[in-house]
Structure 1
Amino acid sequence: MSENRGISKSVLYLMSASAGFVVANNYYNQPLLNLIANDFDVSEAAVSNVPLFTQLGYAFGLLFIIPLGDKFPRKKMVMIDFIFIIIGLLAMAIAPSLPILIISGFIVGFSCVVPQVFVPMAAQLAKPENKGSAIGIVMSGLLIGILGSRFISGYVGEYFGWRAMYYGATAMMLVLWLLLKLKLPELQPDFKGTYKELMRSTWHYFKTESPVRLAALRGGLGFAGFSAFWTTLVFVMEDNFNYGSGVAGAFGLLGIGGALAATVIGKLSDRMNKNNLITLATVIMLLAWVIFEFSGNSIIGLVIGVLLVDMGLQSLHITNQNIIFSRNQNARNRINTIYMVGYFAGGALGTITGAYAWELFQWEGVASLGLFYTIIILIAHFSFKKTESA
């Protein structure tokens, strides 16, 4: 199966499902934070280090692992990476203390970068006219994994304990490893230099590709607000509504509607002006954060806000990726590295600032923080969008 001959639906949907289940490992912890804090008898700020270091691990994995997709055969790379995912998840399941859990979370984040191999693979394998659609399908799986993970872990944690979630995740990764071993096509690399040259060329693309830098800034700020919301939702559910992890996790199901919009946006981004799509997506997120400002004691307001913020962020994300994958096609993994490092560095920023905004100003502080990040997206987009090809 080679570039531009297309990709079978079965392989595309396997990649989509795998992306979802793998990325979910990074987010199981969020609805479980109260349970973990109670188990280890630590504060909300201290337990927030678990998602923080998981996201930092993901950013480092994107930086140091994903560029290798331009140098080594992709399937072999995925198979090896899965071994480290399994080790990290098992370590989280048996962690005897919070520091060990934090370190294990970093390992999980560092190794769970497989979806960011699948996205450029889908772009490479798809026919040119179907590139946006293929990216959208894989991203829909990834985004449903992010959102569904919170629903699953919330209820598993509530009824079976937080450790059970990580034992189950370990078993799921073993199943996926076998399916991918049997079905995933191999793609040979384009880059023939050393690892040092590979990383140097990644830095070169960062310096010279202003559209990629702008996409990374937009994505990172959008994900910062998103992460601040999900890190603190479990706290507002307990403090303001007296609900447990199960209800907090159930909010993930609401966001799946927004994630499913990724397939539609993928198709639209093949035909419509991408700058206009990005503006629309950011305005939708802005509206979500305004609604959140007045929803600290309103479940209905939170529900509407979740639907809008997910739809806006996923639309922004898909359009960003279609822009960057249309450039430098022999360096897709390195280009994706630049974008996704910015994206998840933003997520780590949102996690830590969201935790402190909650401790200092409660829900209104979190909503104001998300609003601030989204306004910066609009300012940056209108200031620099002329530099990119839409």
Structure 2
Amino acid sequence: MTRSHVSTRPLTRATLVLLALMCGISIGSAYYAQPLLPAIGRALHVSDAAMGLVPMLTQIGIGAGVLIFMPLGDIVDNRKLILLLVSAHVVTLALVASSSTAGMLYWSSALMGLTTVAPYLLPPFAAKLSPPESRGHVTGFLARGFFAGILLARTVSGYVGYYLAWHAVYWIALASMLVIAALFARHAPTSKPALRLGYGQLLRSLATVFLQEPQLRLAALTQGLLFGAFNAFWTSLAFYLETPQFHLPSYVAGLFGVIGLAGALGAPLFGKLADRRGPEFAVKLGTSIALLSWVVFMFLGGRLAGLMVGVLLLDLGITASHISNQAIIYRLAPEIRSRVTTLYILGLFTGGASLSRLATLAWSAYGWYGVCTLGFVATAIAAVVNFVPGKRRVTDVVGKHFLAE
């Protein structure tokens, strides 16, 4: 039995801003460590390669959290679910901040990732509470908050870690989450679930949804590869800037987040382009721009100016592709929106976790050019699969094969 979500209050402009802020503050927790990895490694007496486990375990935790909790958005009150997960997230931030050994940091980072689900529940939550004619604007607005959080988290943590200590970053994040959660509890509307399904049925239906929706499979593959390449860059940047070629401290790596933010904030222009030419065209353009960024990193990355240009292109491309892919998957049936989002986000973090780890190994073995090669290859695959005609795509062929079985 299905029915529409019903809100007790309309989604006002102030509430939309609140949701975007919550997206940014929540997702920031997963990225504070990246510019601090060398400093944390020295403090805990851990090698650069071993420190690569921290972002990888965080990404794996997020993927697991999305799989476990995200589908519940189709069958429970989203507001209550988000508040419960944010409360758990505050506890895990305290665990990370209290870590005194590498082992404790590893498992607390994984738990922190497990509870970093709110920023992925918020866009479909807002979409459910918005009329169809403004849904693209709403999800695009939250996407800006999402990417601003990812990029500015590095800036904040770079400075705080340099002038205070890496632990302080997480205590400040904890306080910020408490404030934003209190505002959300006071102002966010409620929504009634669209379906009456058991949790087991809900999870089993994920495979069916994935196999039946070729657009979802393509979006998840594309963004997983792009997000993985994105994480490969940011995981390696702090190590690269500390080399004798630059000899720069952690907060400089964080400052690149501000540069990337300029690119990310320009991406809503692609939303308008998607309205005119279609989101599929905007995805192709976004992946092409991201691919160009890796060419810049490869040939001009030995200079700060080259890194700056590359960061602008990378963040513009990945944000444009993300917004356009969301526009594609949110056109699918509204009663499966949380499960569609679950599968899409799982694609992101499968790529993010895999390439974060591969990036630290590439860095340890081959340095900056190893990281650039990894990022270029992943992004090239993402671009190619979107330019291949639909019937010949691997994602389409695989889906048809399993449905036939």
Structure 1 and Structure 2 fold alike (TM over 0.5):
yes
Matched, 1:53 2:57: yes
What is the aligned partner in structure 1 of residue 103 from structure 2? 99
- Report if the CA contact (8 A) 2:35-2:154 is conserved: yes
1:288 alignment partner, one of 269, 293, 296: 293
Q: How does 1:107-126 map to 2 (within 5 A)?
A: 107-126=111-130
2:338 alignment partner, one of 330, 333, 342: 333
The structural deviation recorded for 1:381 is: 1.2
What is the aligned partner in structure 1 of residue 150 from structure 2? 146
What is the aligned partner in structure 1 of residue 401 from structure 2? none
- Report if the CA contact (8 A) 1:155-1:249 is conserved: yes
- Report if the CA contact (8 A) 1:214-1:384 is conserved: no
What is the aligned partner in structure 2 of residue 74 from structure 1? 78
- Report if the CA contact (8 A) 1:136-1:265 is conserved: no
How many residues of Structure 1 are paired with residues of Structure 2 in the alignment?
Answer: 388
The structural deviation recorded for 1:384 is: 4.9
The structural deviation recorded for 1:70 is: 0.6
Taking structure 1 as the reference length, what is the TM-score of the superposition? Answer: 0.96
The range that moved more, 59-68 or 257-266, is 257-266
Considering only aligned residues, what root-mean-square deviation do their CA atoms show, in Å?
1.7
The structural deviation recorded for 1:245 is: 0.5
The structural deviation recorded for 1:270 is: 3.3
Q: 2 CA distance for matches of 1:6 and 1:177?
A: 19
What is the aligned partner in structure 2 of residue 185 from structure 1? 189
Structure 1 gaps, min length 5: none
What is the aligned partner in structure 1 of residue 403 from structure 2? none
1:226 alignment partner, one of 227, 230, 248: 230
Q: 1 CA distance for matches of 2:220 and 2:10?
A: 28
Name the aligned partner's letter for residue 35 of structure 1: A
Matched, 1:11 2:11: no
Q: 2 CA distance for matches of 1:318 and 1:176?
A: 24
Q: Provide Cα deviations, 1:324-373, integer angstroms capped at 9, x if missing partner.
A: 01101111110000000001110011101111111111111111111101
Q: How does 1:135-284 map to 2 (within 5 A)?
A: 135-239=139-243, 240-284=245-289
- Report if the CA contact (8 A) 2:231-2:355 is conserved: yes
The structural deviation recorded for 1:203 is: 1.4
Q: 2 CA distance for matches of 1:186 and 1:263?
A: 28
Taking structure 2 as the reference length, what is the TM-score of the superposition? Answer: 0.93
- Report if the CA contact (8 A) 1:90-1:167 is conserved: yes
What is the aligned partner in structure 1 of residue 383 from structure 2? 378
Structure 2 gaps, min length 5: 396-405
Name the aligned partner's letter for residue 72 of structure 1: V
The structural deviation recorded for 1:268 is: 3.3
Q: 2 CA distance for matches of 1:306 and 1:198?
A: 39
- Report if the CA contact (8 A) 1:133-1:267 is conserved: no
- Report if the CA contact (8 A) 2:36-2:161 is conserved: yes
